Amino acid sequence: MKKALVHLTAADEIMGNLIQRVGRCGLKSPAFKQTGRQVAFAALVEAVVYQQLTGKAASTILGRVKALYPKRAFPRPIDIAHTSDDQLRAAGLSRAKVAAVKDIAAKTLDGTIPTVAQIVRMTDDEIVQRLTTIRGVGRWTAEMVLIFMLGRLDVLPSTDYGVRKGFAAAYGHKELPSSEALLLHGEKWRPYRSVASWFLWRAAEIKVDL
């Protein structure tokens, strides 16, 4: 992380000022306690639950889903597969999200979703390509898995509202940047675009005065 911060500060003065203002980066290296497909399954289910919701609302719904399985910290794919749509809807999931988590469960069981041992050997693009075959899992969701589950350092979720908002705030733009413009500017952040994204998320949350 120290190397990433040095690189970003040298490559982009405004990003360097943002890093200085925000302080320590909260991204953590992955520490897998499981070796099978459960890690990716849980990460994908959580990412789908959080789609288009505030963190508080999504956390509440995820808690209700997990409460359906009191004997487990997190449900297994087989548990979700055997849960009725009505039960998942009652926990707060939309019809689209119920269909998505059911498909995540099915594709975990049929081997579409890779194990930890497989996924750590795959490139970012290979992972995105594999995960986006799942219903309800688009590129954004796959990118969240890359950043927060796998600890991949060079991911720039250019369609993410928070990243775009943070960029506009930090760089003094009145309008949100297009995905293309953000990707173009982000070239100078390689190979640490995930770290830059984390700081842009923070810039979207605080009053930035650079």
| Domain range enclosing 196 | 2-28+155-205
Whether 109 shows a pLDDT value over 90: the answer reads yes
Do 168 and 74 share a domain, yes or no?
no
Predicted confidence at residue 139, as pLDDT, reads: 92
The Cα 78–Cα 192 span in angstroms is 37
Do 101 and 59 share a domain, yes or no?
yes
The Cα 52–Cα 57 span in angstroms is 10
Mean pLDDT of the chain: 91
Do 142 and 50 share a domain, yes or no?
yes
Predicted confidence at residue 32, as pLDDT, reads: 57
- Give the number of domains in the chain: 2
pLDDT-derived band at 83 (thresholds 50, 70, 90) equals very high
Do 78 and 145 share a domain, yes or no?
yes
Residue 210 lies in a domain: no
The Cα 161–Cα 65 span in angstroms is 26
- Model confidence pTM above 0.85: no
Q: pLDDT higher for 201 or 119?
A: 201
144 class by beta-carbon count within 10 Å (0-12 exposed, 13-18 middle, 19+ buried): buried
- Share above pLDDT 70 across residues of the chain, in percent, rounded to a whole number: 95
Do 12 and 112 share a domain, yes or no?
no
Cis, bond preceding 70 (omega within 30 deg of 0)? no
Residue 33 lies in a domain: no
pLDDT tens-place string over residues 23-73:
999 998 775 555 577 888 888 899 899 888 777 888 999 999 999 999 999
Residue 7 lies in a domain: yes
Do 43 and 141 share a domain, yes or no?
yes
Predicted confidence at residue 120, as pLDDT, reads: 83
**Per-residue DSSP letter, 149:** I
Query: Residue range 189-195: average pLDDT?
Result: 97
32 class by beta-carbon count within 10 Å (0-12 exposed, 13-18 middle, 19+ buried): middle
Predicted confidence at residue 208, as pLDDT, reads: 56
Predicted confidence at residue 136, as pLDDT, reads: 84
Predicted confidence at residue 56, as pLDDT, reads: 84
CATH number for 163: 1.10.1670.40
Do 142 and 61 share a domain, yes or no?
yes
Predicted confidence at residue 17, as pLDDT, reads: 95
Whether 209 shows a pLDDT value over 70: the answer reads no
The Cα 33–Cα 130 span in angstroms is 23
Do 21 and 120 share a domain, yes or no?
no
